[in-house]
Amino acid sequence: MNFRTVDGGVTAPRGYRAAGVAAGIKREGLDVAVLVSASPAVCAGVFTRNLVQAAPVVYSRTVVEADRPVRAVVVNSGNANACTGAEGADDTERTAAKVASRIGVARNEVLVASTGVIGVPLPMEKVLRGVDEACLRLSDGLDAGRFAATAIMTTDTYLKQTAVTLDVDGKPVTIGGMAKGSGMIHPDMATMLSFVTTDATIKPELLQKLLRESAEDTYNMISVDGDTSTNDMVLVLANGQAGAPEITESSPSFATFRDALHNVHAHLAKQIVRDGEGATKLVEVTVVGAKSELDARRLVKTVLTSNLVKTAFFGEDANWGRILAAMGRSGAEFNPAHVSIAFSSDGGSIDLMREAEPLQFDEDEAKEVLQPSEIQVLITLCDGSATATGWGCDLSYEYVRINGDYRT
């Protein structure tokens, strides 16, 4: 790698300040975050594909698609502001306007995101009070980024952030990010939010292209429970504060920047799955030898989202038949007579099927492979050269407990 990991998150790049405060939207903890760029930043975004979209998603998509520079992002947790009608749309604009007035920019330079319970109006007095306090506490320190990353969490059990730095024509360029997500996570976006900042100089259309490409292989290749959300959003801001030359597709540093940006998204996406509600295991599924990339993706996603597969991993049961059955209903084209399946982990590795022939294996040995918290599944086909990798988790009793009383 031509880049390296550094401490911090969204405030690691130059020219970004952040804050996270407790406004009382949630019963306890930080719940309002504000992120501000010192100069106008180009912005790229991808949003939920759910037809039911929360007010902040509709609003922020409009801002991003207008292709204008932005200066800030405001996020509240504890309330999704989804399915809240005209009042929800008005509350989103009021929140953006409040931030804009506090930092001296136009309302349409502020992006808005929300996460939490659906169908409940925002407690605007608390939200606006939280915005006031957050804007007073803005800082470019690493702690400020950590507080912001904490404030966007809902059922998350830990904050998710990362940062990397690379060299662009002798100048250091940094990319930092924070994300939230634990439940309602499914390929094609989910109840997750991700915010990435960089001090690189880059055109918005190229940044959007890189984000879309990376999202397909990261956020859209994870699943916790098969449920998608109304509030999904990934935003990337680039403010040029590093003073490095503009990154273009013909730049010597383009490939490094692309890989570094992808690394940030992949790290955040895997952290989301690792923190899946009630999860005890992170499961990585790789398909090689597929007829097409689309087929490879379909196979990976179907295996990851199978409740029978997920519960087998929770029970540490090497029930490879469930994997093959899931593959068969994926809609992908493959030859079942040439399928091989293997598991591996820090506990060892085990071949379960080779060229469609079941292999004899020791159940105790398989148990050792499935006991660690991270497990790799390799599915080998003989239909082509396409490959895909995705990440999921097991399904436990704790998931039911968490979601059985989420509102109450």
Tell me the pLDDT tens digit for each residue of 150-159: 999 988 888 9
The one-letter amino acid at 72:
A
Which residue positions in the chain have pLDDT lower than 50?
184-190
For residue 267, the model assigns a pLDDT of 95
Distance CA 320, CA 378 (A): 11
- 351: Cβ–Cβ under 8 A, 6 or more apart, which residues? 340, 341, 342, 359, 361
What DSSP state is assigned to residue 286?
E
Ordered by where they begin, the domains of the chain are 3-274 (3.60.70.12), 282-404 (3.10.20.340)
Global pTM reads 0.87
Indicate the SS3 state at residue 1: coil
- 27: Cβ–Cβ under 8 A, 6 or more apart, which residues? none
Indicate the SS3 state at residue 5: strand
- Residues designated catalytic: 191
Q: Which tokens go with 302?
A: 């179907």
Q: How many helices (H) and strands (E) does the chain have?
A: 11, 15
Share the mean pLDDT of the chain. Answer: 92
Q: Is 339 exposed, middle or buried (0-12, 13-18, 19+ CB in 10 A)?
A: buried
The tens digit of pLDDT for each residue in 297-324 reads 999 999 998 999 999 999 999 999 999 9
Q: SS3 letters for 238-282?
A: ECCCCCCCCECCCCCCHHHHHHHHHHHHHHHHHHHHHCCCCCCCE
* Helix or strand (DSSP H, E) at 16: strand 16-21
Give the residues across from 163 on adjacent strands. Answer: 176
For residue 231, the model assigns a pLDDT of 86
